[in-house]
């Protein structure tokens, strides 16, 4: 067992020496390649033979090959590559739309119809021509009463015969004979009734309207009300038909004016 241990120790020493020799050889070889003068000085000082062949030998040319050249600044003045400056393009004009042709409709075929068949026109049968005779003359229907209302009655006016103005509503008028002249005072009377009143007014008692004027107050303000009018003799006999009238609720029309006219 001891012999084996000694052998291992010796083997390890020998291997260490071999490794050291190899490393030394590598260092020397590298020194010969890069700094041969320094190697020569070291070997001369130690009295060892010159590995590189002594000082008389030429310096190996490998040094120049292995030397790393120092980069020198190069002038870029002559090698300046000119930069390209883009030239601005002119503004693009808007594209105008072109008119698109509409499709042409094919011509429609007009149907051809045969000419209409002539129809026979019936022959008119002659008729007897009437013999002209006397034309009938329209005659106005005579009223059963001697007095009727005028064509434009009733007339709506603003109160003008007193100072009550709009605080008044009344019915007034006049009576005319065949010659359209006012009848005499007291020759007739007007019967007014409806909407709460029943009065008889003597003709000629309201000269503000006419010498044959008459007036009947019916309310203290304009209002829509219905009344009846009839002309009578002083004895109470009717000489006209009954006329239905209606007042209005307006200050400009608070006077209902009614005219009786003799027709026969």
Read off φ and ψ for residue 82, nearest 5 degrees: -65, 135
For residue range 153-189, list pLDDT tens digits in order.
Answer: 999 999 999 999 999 999 999 999 999 999 999 999 9
pLDDT at 55: 46
**Per-domain residue ranges of the chain:** 2-58, 147-262
For residue range 205-217, list pLDDT tens digits in order.
Answer: 999 999 999 999 9
Question: Mean pLDDT for the chain?
Answer: 78
For residue range 4-26, list pLDDT tens digits in order.
Answer: 677 788 888 988 898 998 998 88
d(CA 213, CA 175): 7
Indicate the fold that domain 147-262 takes in CATH. Immunoglobulin-like (2.60.40)
pLDDT higher than threshold 60 for residue 143 = yes
For residue range 182-199, list pLDDT tens digits in order.
Answer: 999 999 999 999 999 999
DSSP string for residues in 42-73 = HHHHTTPPPTT--TTSPPPTHHHHH--PPPPP
Q: Structure pTM?
A: 0.49
Q: What percent of the chain has pLDDT above 70?
A: 58
In 3-state terms, what secondary structure has residue 40?
A: helix
Residue 219 CB neighbour total at 10 angstroms: 16
pLDDT at 65: 46
- 141-to-111, 136, 177, 263 alpha-carbon distances in Å: 67, 15, 19, 11
pLDDT higher than threshold 60 for residue 39 = no
- Of 191, 204, 170, 193, the closest CA to residue 240 belongs to 191
pLDDT at 64: 47
pLDDT band at 81 (very low <50, low <70, confident <90, very high): low
pLDDT at 142: 78
- Cβ-proximal residues to 228 (8 Å cutoff; 6+ apart), any chain: 191, 192, 193, 194, 242, 243, 244, 245
Residue 254 CB neighbour total at 10 angstroms: 25
């Amino acid at each position: 067992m001891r012999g084996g241990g000694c052998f291992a120790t010796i083997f390890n020493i020998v291997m260490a020496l071999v490794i050291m020799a190899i490393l030394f050889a590598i260092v020397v070889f590298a020194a010969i390649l890069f700094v041969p003068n320094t190697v020569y000085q070291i070997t001369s000082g130690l009295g060892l033979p010159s590995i590189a062949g002594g000082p008389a030998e030429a310096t190996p040319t490998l040094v120049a090959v292995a030397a790393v050249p120092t980069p020198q600044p190069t002038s870029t003045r002559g090698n300046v590559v000119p930069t390209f400056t883009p030239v601005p393009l002119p503004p693009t004009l808007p594209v105008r739309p072109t008119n698109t042709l509409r499709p042409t409709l094919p011509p429609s075929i007009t149907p051809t119809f045969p000419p209409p068949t002539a129809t026979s026109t019936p022959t008119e049968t002659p008729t007897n021509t009437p013999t002209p005779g006397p034309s009938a003359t329209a005659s106005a229907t005579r009223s059963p009463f001697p007095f009727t209302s005028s064509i434009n009655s009733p007339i709506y006016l603003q109160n003008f015969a007193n100072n009550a103005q709009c605080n008044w509503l009344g019915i007034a008028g006049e009576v005319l004979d065949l010659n359209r002249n006012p009848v005499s005072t007291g020759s007739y009377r007007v019967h007014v009734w409806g909407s709460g009143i029943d009065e008889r007014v003597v003709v000629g008692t309201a000269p503000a309207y006419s010498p044959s004027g008459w007036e009947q107050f019916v309310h203290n303000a304009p209002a829509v009300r219905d009344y009846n009018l009839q002309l009578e003799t002083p004895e109470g006999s009717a000489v006209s038909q009954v006329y239905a009238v209606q007042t209005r609720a307006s200050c400009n029309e608070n006077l209902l004016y009614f005219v009786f006219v003799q027709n026969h």
